[in-house]
Amino acid sequence: QFSFQENGWGSSLAERLVRKCDVVNRGVSGYNTRWAKLILPRLITRSTSAESTVAVTIFFGANDSALKDLNPKQHVPLEEYSANLKSMIQYLKSVDITEDRIILITPPPLQESAWEKECLAKGDKLNRHNATTGEYAQACVQVARDCGTDVLDLWTLMQKDEDFSSYLSDGLHLSTKGNSFLAAQLWSCLEKKLSALPSLLPYWRDVDHTNPEASLL
């Protein structure tokens, strides 16, 4: 949901793709795969033209991986998480969005000390662990292998830097730098899918001003 905020990864991709295609944000803050699986048919309907859909990203796991004892509302067991991702992929295929246009994104790593401060400020205990989030990230990668989709392993990529805290604004959510990192990594996946897209309508200098209908209709 936050990807279209200023400097968000969604808005960054939308800027890159102006006059190529529309970037549609259907992210829902706080949701897990159990809920997302239920609402997906309302977000992407059978009436959506599959032919015009270049790519769909599925980005879940940070909430599913919350600790059951401390955050039972958002927690989803690991095996169910995998099954829910597969169910969403299967639904997209049922509306003719093929595996080669689906990109799974793993949850980012969790910076525990920063997120613990956020939890304590609300009177809660630390309700997530990075190692647990990593298990969900690995499961996400495995689902992509099983289903033949692309995957962006954000959890692993961000931790190639020894200190990944700068990628996160509060230990959990992406910072400006984290959004930029995700946009760049995702663009590497998308570029080959989008390279052949033509620009919508001709460049203004190429319009025949004496007869614009000839250029524009």
Nearest to 140 by CA among 98, 163, 106: 106
Q: Does domain 9-215 have CATH number 3.40.50.1110?
A: yes
Q: What is the pTM (predicted TM-score) of this model? A: 0.92
pLDDT, position 48: 67
Cβ(175)–Cβ(167) under 8 Å? yes
Residue in this structure with the two tokens 């803050």, named with its chain if needed: 29
> What pLDDT does 193 receive?
80
Cα separation, 194 vs 186, in Å, equals 12
Residue 163 CB neighbour total at 10 angstroms: 8
pLDDT in tens, the chain (217 residues): 889 988 999 999 999 998 888 999 999 999 999 999 999 999 998 776 777 889 999 999 999 999 999 999 999 999 999 999 999 999 999 999 999 999 999 999 999 999 999 999 999 999 999 999 999 999 999 999 999 999 999 999 999 977 899 999 999 999 999 999 999 999 998 988 887 788 889 889 999 999 999 999 9
Spatial separation of the C-alpha atoms in residues 208 and 216, rounded to whole Å: 9
DSSP letter for each residue of the chain: -GGGSTT-HHHHHHHHTTTT--------TT--HHHHHHHHHHHS-TTS-GGG---EEEE--TTTTS-TTT-TTT---HHHHHHHHHHHHHHHHHTT--GGGEEEEPPPP--HHHHHHHHHHTT------HHHHHHHHHHHHHHHHHHT-EEE-HHHHHTTSS--GGGBSSSSSB-HHHHHHHHHHHHHHHHHHHTTPPPSS--GGGS-TT-HHHHH-
